[in-house]
Amino acid sequence: MFFPVSGIEISPFFPPAIAFSISFFTSMSGVSGAFLLLPFQMSVLGYTAPSVSATNHLFNVVAIPGGLYRYIKEGRMVWPLALVVVAGTLPGAVAGALIRVKFLPDPQSFKLFAGAVLLYIGVRMVKDLTTNRSKEKKGTKAELQQLAEEAFIKQRQEASRLDGNQPRGTNTLNIKKFSLTELRYEFCNTTFTVNIPAILLMSAAVGLAGGVYGIGGGAIIAPFFVSMFRLPVYTVAGAALLGTFVTSLAGVLFYQYLAMFYPDLSVSPDWLLGLLFGIGGMAGTYLGAKAQKHIPARPIKAILATSVMFIAVTYIAKALH
């Protein structure tokens, strides 16, 4: 099947299969998989025009609702956190789309930028994985994060042994305070506090990078929540996905708008290709979100960190060669 916008020819069954394979694992940590799908499109499919970022955003718009539905249904959506993320990343995503078209249309330059973004994500993930948590002092954010995640897994396993049904978790996550300066919520009898201005500032920077890269920012902000703010991965995944969904929707619309001013450049998304990727991604994020509560966070982070570091090094090496 030929896709005229991207200029590639592949089986129509191939994009959904690839997107499903990626999204199933990445959605467990609050990432749609777009950050891995983009290098696949560029390196394997040879789709390197600026419109590949718009197509990646379209994938997010179609794929993410499946995972969001599961997190909301199970009562694990921290709505105030999601609201702050959207408020910070949305302006940056729009500005990032403009930067991608105006200053980074060349595939070589874009690969260097993409590689740098991925390298930073990978370093943060590896650092978090290699830290010896057993030496953490009692009462620190890292220890509380680990205890809450372990308690959540035990709670779900116990519920499964009792009747085979998973509770929605409405008593597991409770919002205690939400103001312009602070968010406080309880998860598995452990209280976590978030500095709102810090989240807004970080989200703005993430939105800018995500807008250029075409990932909506979730692949960057989710590791930040887990590694820097020490929030349980089971509570940030839904918020990160929702933030990615909103910013990606804005990205698709803005790229489509910019296409009117760049008639000689491929800017608007490849709608058919993006929809096919999105269909597979929707199934992957739904099942990934459903499976997340059964799987410890560490193995998922290890797979993601390995993939991200490999792609980052490859891209930077090619760009500098």
Which residues, at least 6 apart from 87, have a Cβ–Cβ distance to it below 8 Å? 200, 203
Tell me, what's the pLDDT at 135?
56
Whether the model clears a pTM of 0.85, i.e. scores above it, the answer is: no
Task: Give the residue, 210 or 141, on which the prediction is more confident.
Answer: 141
pLDDT digits (tens, 9 = 90+) for 22-41: 999 888 877 788 878 888 89
What CA–CA distance (Å, rounded) separates 173 from 171?
6
Mean pLDDT value across the chain: 83
What CA–CA distance (Å, rounded) separates 220 from 21?
20
For residue 32 the two structure tokens come to: 């749609």
- Lowest mean pLDDT: which of 44-53, 95-104, 197-206? 95-104
Number of Cβ atoms within 10 Å of the Cβ of 193: 13
pLDDT band at 107 (very low <50, low <70, confident <90, very high): low
pLDDT band at 167 (very low <50, low <70, confident <90, very high): very low
Tell me 296's DSSP state. Answer: -
| DSSP symbols for 38-105 | HHIIIIIS---STHHHHHHHHHHHHHHHHHHHHHHHTT---HHHHHHHHHHHHHHHHHHHHHHHHH--
What CA–CA distance (Å, rounded) separates 147 from 150?
5
Q: Do the Cβ atoms of 304 and 26 come closer than 8 Å?
A: yes
pLDDT of residue 121 exceeding 60: yes
Tell me, what's the pLDDT at 168?
46
Tell me, what's the pLDDT at 247?
84
pLDDT band at 285 (very low <50, low <70, confident <90, very high): very high
